[in-house]
Structure 1
Amino acid sequence: MPTKSTFKISRFPVPELAELPDDMRARILAVQEKSGFVPNVFLALAHRPEEFRAFFAYHDALMEKPGSLSKAEREMIVVATSNANQCQYCVVAHGAILRIRAKSPLIADQLAINYRKADITPRQKAMLDFAMKVSTASYAVGDEDFEILQRHGFSMDDAWDITAIAAFFGLSNRIANVSSMRPNDEFYTLGR
């Protein structure tokens, strides 16, 4: 079986950490200090500094802000929609984050396989139904979809957040798939 060093993390150039602008290097080192490793997405996107900065600024604006969607629910959206987009990197990496944030070793696998059968609340299922429609058939989103969300206690701001997360990770999934981005081995065991 190939070892992790056998595979490249991206088919595009991956710069050395020492070659990066100071702000990017500082961000990557902070992530490494917190997690114990450098997630490959940081290195894979680093060859385009302006896009790296914009990508992570929007990521943080969506995923780290306070609101009525918990951080675990935000990760649920990423895992479910990334599975629909067949993005190995995001399912594995965000599955690990979800396991930690939800304090559940099973939830990420359940959502990645079939969120409709996962151990989640009816509210979370409605959230994921909407996110999946945004991800796979946004042209078909209509008033009735917002009414369903409202019946489950979601506001219009929440609907925007669900939409933006599903849309942002649609972009991320496509970049990860085309670049053949590899998830770090460490992600597979986190939160188990």
Structure 2
Amino acid sequence: MSNLSLAHDRTASPAGTVDDAEPVSRLGLPDEAGLPAHVRALYDDFRAHYGFVPNWLSALAINPDTAYRLVEFYRHLFDPKNSHLTAADRELIAVVTSAANHCSYCVFNHTQALASALGDKVRAQRIAQGYGHVRLSDREQALAETVDLLTRSPTAVGEAEIERLRRLGLTDKAITEVFEISAFFSYANRLTIALNVVPDAQFFSA
């Protein structure tokens, strides 16, 4: 998920473990050589672009098409050419949704991406720790509260939330995308949590 750059250097420790021998995933990691070509190509893309393969990708690749579907969906969803939202909007949604779902992996990952989008590492970290304690813009506040509600109590989202976003200038296409990004991260969060994917060492050294 974005920041797709965050990854685990598979040459640094035995397959399926981090440096302290803690399993990367409850289901272990697949033998990369045995993966289908289209999934090995994802590994190659990450290594070529960022220098390593993220734990979440390695963990999901235990079922290769799960990894492939998620990456392809994410790439289209976060492609600026396809989006009606800003990068900061998208990453705010990712962080708030992941925090509401208690997905530490995705919170770590997307806090760094939010920091890049905002140009403010400290503010991004404060939002990740609890957006209610941060002075947000009206747009940020509405986005955060809407996706928090959608994540925690989806049937509570209604016309009031939609009208609030419209008043702030979001089109109906953009509002749909807000819901879609939040829903995507709830999906990704649940996969990551169920597999108990260990955050990459790069989260702590960046």
TM over 0.5: yes
How far, CA to CA, are the matches of 1:189 and 1:96 in structure 2? 11
How far, CA to CA, are the matches of 1:64 and 1:20 in structure 2? 26
Q: Which has the higher helix share?
A: 1
Give 3-state SS (helix, strand or coil) of 2:25's partner: coil
Q: Which runs of 5+ in 1 are unaligned?
A: none
Provide TM-score, normalisation by structure 2.
Answer: 0.84
* Sequence identity (%): 29
Moved more, 17-26 or 40-49: 17-26
Q: Match of 1:106?
A: 122
Question: Number of paired residues?
Answer: 188
Q: Decide which of 158, 180, 183 is 1:142's aligned counterpart.
A: 158
Q: Give the alignment of 1:5-154 within 5 angstroms.
A: 5-66=20-81, 67-154=83-170
Q: Residue 4 of structure 1: CA displacement?
A: 3.1
The 8 Å contact of residues 96 and 188 in structure 1, kept in 2 or not, is answered as no
The 8 Å contact of residues 98 and 107 in structure 1, kept in 2 or not, is answered as no
Moved more, 130-139 or 11-20: 11-20
RMSD over aligned CA atoms reads 1.7
Give 3-state SS (helix, strand or coil) of 1:165's partner: helix
1:6-45 Cα shifts (integer Å, max 9, x gaps): 2111001311222222221122221122222211111000
1:109-129 Cα shifts (integer Å, max 9, x gaps): 111111123353211111111
Structure 1 residues 95 and 4, CA, compared in 2 at 3 Å: closer, same or farther? farther
Q: Residue 65 of structure 1: CA displacement?
A: 3.8
The 8 Å contact of residues 55 and 198 in structure 2, kept in 1 or not, is answered as yes
Structure 1 residues 90 and 54, CA, compared in 2 at 3 Å: closer, same or farther? same
Q: Which runs of 5+ in 2 are unaligned?
A: 1-17
Q: Match of 1:172?
A: 188
The 8 Å contact of residues 84 and 173 in structure 2, kept in 1 or not, is answered as no
1:106-164 Cα shifts (integer Å, max 9, x gaps): 13311111112335321111111111111111101111111100111111111111111
Whichever residue aligns with residue 21 of structure 1, its letter is P
Q: Residue 5 of structure 1: CA displacement?
A: 3.8
Moved more, 152-161 or 24-33: 24-33
How far, CA to CA, are the matches of 1:50 and 1:170 in structure 2? 19
Q: Residue 92 of structure 1: CA displacement?
A: 0.7
How far, CA to CA, are the matches of 1:144 and 1:69 in structure 2? 20
How far, CA to CA, are the matches of 2:123 and 2:32 in structure 1? 34
Provide TM-score, normalisation by structure 1.
Answer: 0.90
